[in-house]
C-alpha cells in the first residue's frame, strides 16, 4: 500500500517514471502476498499512469483487465474507478455515447459502496463530455452537481477541479469574465495545495478565458508557459491541448505560419493518443485561410495521436 501511495504521489507531482516504478512494485508485492484488492487497484494505477504518458493501448488493457476482475470480486470501488477511466479514453476517441455509459456505470458502482469522491469525479467527467458535444445546459447541470457534492465533502481539491470545469463551460458560452473568475479560484487552490500539474491545467483554462476577453498577448504568454510546464511534467495530452488553444489564438490573430507550426505539433500528439475529435478540429483549423497567410494545410503523415488514483486533467481519472 505504501508503494502504491508513493506511485500516486509521484504521478501527481509530474514524476511519471517514478510513479510507474512504484506502481509495478506495488503490483508485484500484492500478487506475492495474494492481496487481490490491492492488486486490482495497482492495475488501475498502472493504467492511469500509462494514459498520462500517452499510452492509450496500454491504459485500455490495464483498465479493462482490472474492471473485469474487480467486477468478479464484487470490488465495486475499483470497478467504478476503471469504468471512469475507460470513459476518459472513450471521450478522447470521440465516442461520447460510450463515455457517458462508462461514467454512468462508474457512478452506479460508487453509489453501491458510498464512495462519494468517485461520484464527484465521474460527474465532473460527464460535464466535460456534455460540453464537448455542445450540450451546455446538461454540462452546466453536471458541473454544478459535482461542485455541490465537493463542497459537501469539504474536499478543496475536488472543489477546485469542479470550478475549473465550470470555467471551461463558461468559455464555451462566451462568458469570459465568469470563466476568468472561476479559473483563478481553481488555480489559487491548486497552487496552495502544491498540485503543480492541476495548477498548470487551470492556467491553460485561464489563458483561453483571457484570450476570449480580448487580451491576446497575455493569453499567448500564459499558454506558452503551460506548454513548457506540461512538457516538464511529461503530460502529452495537456501539452497538445495547450498547443491547440495557442494555434486557434494565433490563427484568429492572423499569424498563419505560427498557427500552422503549433497546430502540427498538437496534431501529431493527438494522433498518437487516438484523440479523433481533436484531430478533426485541427484539420479544420489547418484548412482555414488566414489574412495574408493562405491555407494552413497540413499533411496527415504526422506522428500517431485526474484518472481516479492519478488523474488526467481536465478529465478526472480515478486511482
DSSP state string for 244-286: HHHHHHHHHTT-HHHHHHHHHHHHHHHHHHT-HHHHHHHHHHH
Supply the pLDDT for residue 299. Answer: 33
Contact in structure between 168 and 314 (CB atoms under 8 Å): yes
pLDDT at position 216 is 94
Residues of the chain with pLDDT under 50: 291-307, 310-313
pLDDT of residue 318: 63
Q: How far apart are CA 149 and CA 120, in angstroms?
A: 6
For residues 234 and 52, the answer to whether their CB atoms sit within 8 Å is yes
Distance CA 244, CA 230 (A): 14
DSSP tally for the chain: helices H, then strands E: 15, 2
Give tens-digit pLDDT for 274-307. Answer: 888 899 989 988 887 554 444 443 333 332 224 4
Predicted pLDDT of residue 277? 87
- At 223 the pLDDT is 98
Query: Mind listing the pLDDT tens digit for each residue in 220-262?
Result: 999 999 999 999 988 889 999 999 999 999 999 999 999 999 9
Alpha helices in 56-155 (DSSP H): 56-72, 76-92, 96-113, 116-132, 136-153
What is the CA angle 86-87-90, rounded to 5?
Answer: 90
Alpha carbons 319 and 301: distance in angstroms, whole number: 35
Residue 305 to residue 16: CA distance in whole angstroms: 19
pLDDT computed for residue 319 by the predictor: 62
Full-model pTM: 0.82
- Residue 225 C-alpha cell reads as 508557459
Residue reference for cell 477541479: 161
Amino acid at each position: 500500500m505504501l508503494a502504491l501511495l508513493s506511485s500516486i504521489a509521484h504521478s501527481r507531482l509530474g514524476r511519471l517514471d517514478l510513479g510507474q516504478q512504484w506502481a509495478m512494485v506495488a503490483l508485484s508485492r500484492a500478487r506475492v502476498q495474494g492481496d487481490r484488492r490491492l492488486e486490482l487497484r495497482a492495475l488501475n494505477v498502472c493504467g492511469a499512469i500509462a494514459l498520462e504518458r500517452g499510452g492509450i493501448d496500454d491504459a485500455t488493457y490495464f483498465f479493462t483487465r482490472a474492471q473485469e476482475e474487480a467486477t468478479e470480486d464484487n470490488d465495486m470501488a475499483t470497478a467504478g474507478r476503471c469504468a471512469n477511466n475507460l470513459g476518459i479514453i472513450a471521450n478522447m476517441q470521440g465516442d461520447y455515447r460510450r463515455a457517458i455509459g462508462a461514467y454512468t456505470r462508474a457512478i452506479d458502482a460508487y453509489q453501491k459502496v458510498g464512495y462519494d469522491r468517485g461520484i464527484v469525479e465521474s460527474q465532473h467527467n460527464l460535464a466535460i463530455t456534455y460540453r464537448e458535444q455542445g450540450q451546455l445546459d446538461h454540462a452546466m447541470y453536471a458541473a454544478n452537481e459535482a461542485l455541490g457534492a465537493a463542497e459537501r465533502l469539504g474536499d478543496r481539491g475536488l472543489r477546485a477541479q469542479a470550478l475549473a470545469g465550470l470555467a471551461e463551460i463558461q468559455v464555451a458560452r462566451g462568458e469570459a469574465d465568469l470563466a476568468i473568475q472561476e479559473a483563478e479560484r481553481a488555480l489559487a487552490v491548486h497552487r496552495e495545495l502544491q498540485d503543480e500539474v492541476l495548477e498548470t491545467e487551470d492556467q491553460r483554462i485561464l489563458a483561453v478565458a483571457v484570450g476570449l476577453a480580448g487580451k491576446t498577448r497575455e493569453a499567448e504568454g500564459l499558454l506558452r508557459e503551460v506548454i513548457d510546464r506540461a512538457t516538464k511534467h511529461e503530460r502529452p495530452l495537456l501539452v497538445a491541448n495547450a498547443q491547440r488553444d495557442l494555434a486557434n489564438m494565433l490563427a484568429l490573430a492572423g499569424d498563419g505560419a505560427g498557427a500552422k507550426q503549433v497546430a502540427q505539433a498538437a496534431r501529431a500528439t493527438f494522433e498518437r493518443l487516438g484523440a479523433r475529435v481533436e484531430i478533426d478540429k485541427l484539420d479544420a483549423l489547418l484548412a482555414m485561410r488566414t489574412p495574408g497567410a493562405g491555407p494552413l494545410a497540413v499533411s496527415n503523415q504526422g506522428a500517431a495521436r485526474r484518472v481516479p488514483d492519478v488523474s488526467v486533467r481536465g478529465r478526472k481519472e480515478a486511482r
